[in-house]
Structure 1
Amino acid sequence: MGKNVYSKEIKWAVVQDKLSGKRTNQEIMEKYGIKNVSQIKTWMKWYKTGEMYRF
């Protein structure tokens, strides 16, 4: 099993979807092909703590 690498565009799109509140984590995972909900939580943590350089 290899690591999944997501583009910065996907990461930003996921953050925007989460902030809008219009989609659940499950819907976001299906839309963008994300395999684990912890990935979404990590990106949201980066956003909230101002670690945008990680994107």
Structure 2
Amino acid sequence: MGKNVYSNEVKWAVVKDKMSGQFTNQEIMEKYGIKNVSQIKTWMKWYRENQVHRFDQPIGKQYSYGHGPDSSSDEE
């Protein structure tokens, strides 16, 4: 079993369907072939927190701009 890859179109369609209030999570999962409800919750969280740029991030990669050892300004 590998990780599933969902296109930006699917992610936006899921957010739109969820925001409409016309579909349950289960219906959305069946409609778009999403395996786990946590995926919907993650996309909705990104949408609510205005982090939609994360829809474009590659699979398995966390958005880390400005985070991590290279961004430290405490060098001596």
Superposition TM-score, scaled by structure 1 size: 0.98
Shift of 1:8: 0.4
Larger Rg computed on CA atoms: 2
Identity of aligned residues (%): 78
Flag structure 1 segments of 5+ consecutive residues without an equivalent. Answer: none
Give every structure 1 segment of 4 or more consecutive aligned residues whose post-TM-superposition deviation is greater than 6 Å: none
- TM-score after normalising by structure 2: 0.72
Q: Which amino acid aligns with 2:39?
A: Q
Quote the Cα distance in structure 1 between the aligned partners of 2:54 and 2:8. 9
Please give the root-mean-square deviation of Cα atoms over the aligned residues, in Å. 0.3
Listed one character per residue, the Cα deviations across residues 4-44 of structure 1 (whole Å, up to 9, x for unaligned) are 00000000000000000000000000000000000000000
Q: Which has the higher helix share?
A: 1
Q: How many residues align?
A: 55
Q: Which has the higher contact order (CA 8 A, sep 6+)?
A: 1
